[in-house]
Amino acid sequence: MGPEPTFPIFKEWLDKGYNAEMEFLKNYQDKRENPAGLMEGAKQALIFGLNYYQGDKLNAALQGSGRIAQYARLRDYHKSLKKRGDSIIQELQKLCPDLKARVMVDSAPLLERALANRTNRGFIGKNTLFIHPDKGSMFLLSEILLDHVVLEADTKIPVDGTKRTEAGGCGSCRRCQVFCPTGALDEAYTLDARKCLAYWTIEHRGVIPEKFWPWVRTYLFGCDLCQLACPYNRTHALSKEDVVLKAAEVDPFEIACMTQEYYVATFGGTPVTRAKRSGLRRNGLIALAVLEDPRLEEAIATVMPEDESVLHETILQIRARALSL
């Protein structure tokens, strides 16, 4: 396991401010540069994925409202992938009893896609996803660091993501760029989080700039458009995981008004909680405003003086927008 050759791409991405306000991405840069630093004596990494495809189609998504990104309709993947990783380690320990290992999912300071790309089992697409030529991209990644070399290293030939061959690659396709509604992928193979709906609806804690509102109506949490547009996902197998949210769409009114009890009962144990209750209510209010839903005032009335400032600021934005329309 050597240092990450694409680390300069990450540095440049941060320097350009493409991380928006995700300051946590600036931490532990030494580990992102050299993943071996994440575990003493790390010699090898094993990468595995969890398919989350729920059967969504591009046209339905484009015409929908109140949508929840597919990965977030499952039970929290951090736990299921960790459990799976631990059972893989147990199997490997049968071959190598001294083996020490560490499972990582999402939150470790690791460039997960770059590491996955080093397996040569797929490629990085213009939408920045790690894509398997046969299995598409709608899977979550997890890694196991091992302190012994227990597996034969992959000997596949690297896939050039810029060319279209049997082994994969984008070539002249630019469907993800065309269907990204906010221009976040205008620079191929690079995502500007300051323009990405997934950033605004999940990670951002403050108010959402009005120019993104029409698409917050469509996606209340996350966004799948640049993957649903990708030809490599046309024949994606359905996920076999435990689904918590059965419907692709939720009623923005219920979300804008939801109590803590409703929030826990509906979204508890799913990745949706990353946005927190206040972030989801903010997104619900925006969707109602854009839809010109007659229940908007009723929803606004449920925001109490003691509620988070982002909700009050969003209501001010809604009022100002209504005056300017």
Active site positions, annotated: 106
Handedness of CA 283, 285, 286, 287 (dihedral sign): positive
**Total residues at the site for ligand B12 (CB under 6 A)?**
41
Count of beta carbons in the 10 Å neighbourhood of residue 218: 20
Residue nearest to ligand SF4 (CB): 125
Residues 8-47 that bind ligand B12 (CB under 6 A): 9-10, 13, 22, 25
Q: Is residue 184 a contact residue for ligand SF4 (CB under 6 A)?
A: yes
Q: Is residue 194 a contact residue for ligand SF4 (CB under 6 A)?
A: no
Residue span 108-127 as binding mask against ligand SF4, x where in contact by CB under 6 A, dash where not: -----------------xxx
The rounded distance, in Å, linking the Cα atoms of 156 and 169 is 15
Angle between helices 276-290 and 260-267 (to 10 degrees): 90
Q: Which residue, among 239, 233, 56, 55, has the nearest Cα to 134 in the 3D structure? A: 233
Nearer to ligand SF4, 62 or 247 (CB): 62
Q: Which residue, among 107, 130, 126, has the nearest Cα to 184 in the 3D structure? A: 126
**Residue 230 binds: one of ligand SF4, ligand B12, none (C-beta under 5 to 8 A by kind):** ligand SF4
Nearer to ligand B12, 9 or 99 (CB): 9
Residue nearest to ligand B12 (CB): 222
Q: Which residue, among 105, 75, 107, has the nearest Cα to 270 in the 3D structure? A: 75
Residue with tokens 């091992």: 146
Q: How far is the CB of 187 from ligand B12 (least distance, A)?
A: 10
Stretch that binds ligand B12, among 60-68, 128-136, 253-261, 312-320 (CB under 6 A): 128-136
Q: Which residue, among 252, 195, 256, has the nearest Cα to 223 in the 3D structure? A: 195
User: Given its phi and psi angles, is residue 143 left (phi above 0), alpha (psi -120 to 50 degrees) or beta?
Assistant: beta
Q: What pairing do the DSSP bridges indicate for beta strands 67-68 and 219-221?
A: parallel
Q: Is residue 223 a contact residue for ligand SF4 (CB under 6 A)?
A: yes
Contact 290, 217 (CB under 8 A): yes
**Total residues at the site for ligand SF4 (CB under 6 A)?**
23
The footprint of ligand SF4 (CB under 6 A) covers 125-127, 170, 173-176, 180, 182, 184-185, 191, 196-198, 223, 225-226, 229-232
Which residues contact ligand B12 by CB under 6 A? 4, 6-7, 9-10, 13, 22, 25, 69, 71, 105-106, 110-114, 117, 124, 127-130, 137, 139-141, 161-162, 189, 191, 193, 196, 198-199, 202-203, 222-224, 226
